[in-house]
Structure 1
């Protein structure tokens, strides 16, 4: 559940929610709240939303410069720094629950969209958060139109990188997707699935091809050639 920072306009007692209790709202002190609740209070004009640091014009401009720099053309801007891994006492001989094996992943970082968010990194849901906040709380931004344009430019640049990376993807190769957001993964999924399926059909292993030929020869009553004979032919 994403949280954002709100600046209440009136007092409001804390609420008991399924995700845990919320803090009481006391103007003019800022408080983190679940995104859906913050948007509801904004709609009711009972609170303003403080945009996260990475949604400022300066931060987005810096990230866009990184994305378009020739020296970093093959990578995405770094994701927010991961918190320290927190694990449980592992069972003897089982490292699964060791302290070094568990950590929060990007979609579940608690301060990804609050006033404490990292300024120079885009969180996992940056596109969705930017769209919602600009749609329902545009008056809380200093320059909403500029922020909207920068987000659009970032999306186009990063999607171009994704498509370019997958177009040159060959058998046994890979592409780094560190820093890619959830909406970007969803948008490129159809393209990737089709490409991977094509690679699977084109680059079937030699053993699979040999087995298919042997089955066809048996069905046609021609017998099958030996493994050694085929290896000799391959060496010619």
Structure 2
């Protein structure tokens, strides 16, 4: 049985993955450590901060057992700086995500060092970079504003800035599509978030498929034209040979 869903992650699946992102909380009640699939959490001792998965932090917030500390990039000052970067200094590219140097370097079982990727990096905790949007920035901000708006300073202004940033980035993505062609050119999507990719994948793949069909028809027309020119040259050569034979006779 074939699935009717398009290839790639759906927005709901992207939001589900975002729930594994680590956020910082301030517990209001003591709570013993929990054994989760991702490992054992630290005991919650007020008012010591600790990092937990987003889904658990929201659960504790709704039970009034903890407050969520918004990441630095979700403050008004940081969003205003990001919006300025998106509109003025990055006319054709997106503001870059947190640099690998700001991410903790880890070591695998063979001793080789590597940089972990989302959601295994603390790009949404209280120690995150303030002027860079992480991979799950949109869905993270929506969940925090929905579940913990009282923990966010000036949530109405934050919503407005997030909407402006989103509109600027979507317009920029539509502009990037104009660079797609069959001449080997492409477009870079560095810094694009997970939800932006999930929502735009259908549009981008549709454009690319349309360009491929156009290129295929152009290529077929070029081949037909070359075949016709080749046939014309052959007929002309045969006519010249026939005229030479007639002259000789």
TM-score by length of structure 1 reads 0.80
Shift of 1:202: 1.0
Distance 1:162 1:85 in 2: 33
1:222 match? none
Q: Does 1:74 align with 2:92?
A: yes
Report if aligned partners of 1:7, 1:49 keep a CA contact under 8 Å in 2.
yes
Aligned pairs for 1:77-88 (under 5 A) are: 77-82=95-100, 83=103, 84=105, 86=107
Whether 1:144 and 2:161 are equivalent positions in the alignment is no
Q: Which residue of 2 aligns with 1:180?
A: 192
Corresponding residue for 1:43?
62
Provide the residue aligned with 1:192 in structure 2: 204
Say yes or no: does 1:165 pair with 2:176: yes
Distance apart, 1:78 and its partner CA = 1.0
The 3-state SS of whatever aligns with 1:60 is helix
Please report how far the alpha carbon of residue 125 of structure 1 lies from its aligned counterpart in structure 2 after TM superposition. Answer: 0.4
Cα gap change, 1:46 to 1:60, in 2 (>3 Å) = same
Render the CA deviation track for 1:90-111: whole Å, top value 9, x for unaligned: xxxxxxxx947x5423x33420
Aligned to 1:28: 47
**Larger Rg computed on CA atoms:** 2
Match of 1:13 in 2: 32
Q: CA deviation at 1:176?
A: 1.3
Question: Residue 204 of structure 1: CA displacement?
Answer: 2.5
CA–CA distance in 1 between the matches of 2:122 and 2:175?
32
Listed as ranges, the matches of 1:115-154 within 5 Å are: 115-154=126-165
- Count of residue pairs the alignment pairs up: 210
User: Is residue 87–residue 103 contact of structure 1 (8 Å, CA) maintained in 2?
Assistant: no
- 1:103-118 correspondence to structure 2 within 5 Å: 103-105=115-117, 107-118=118-129
Classify 1:87/1:29 alpha carbon distance in 2 versus 1 (closer, same or farther; 3 Å).
closer
CA deviations 1:134-190 (Å, max 9, x no partner) are 001000011111111111110000000001110332221111111100010011111
CA distance in 1, matches of 2:94, 2:84: 11
| Distance (whole Å) between structure 2 residues aligned to residue 88 and residue 198 of structure 1 | 46
Could you tell me whether the CA contact under 8 Å between 1:8 and 1:30 is conserved in 2? yes
State whether residues 179 and 186 of structure 2, in contact with CA within 8 Å, keep that contact through their aligned partners in structure 1.
no
Higher relative contact order (CA 8 A, sep 6+): 2
Q: TM-score, normalised by structure 2?
A: 0.76
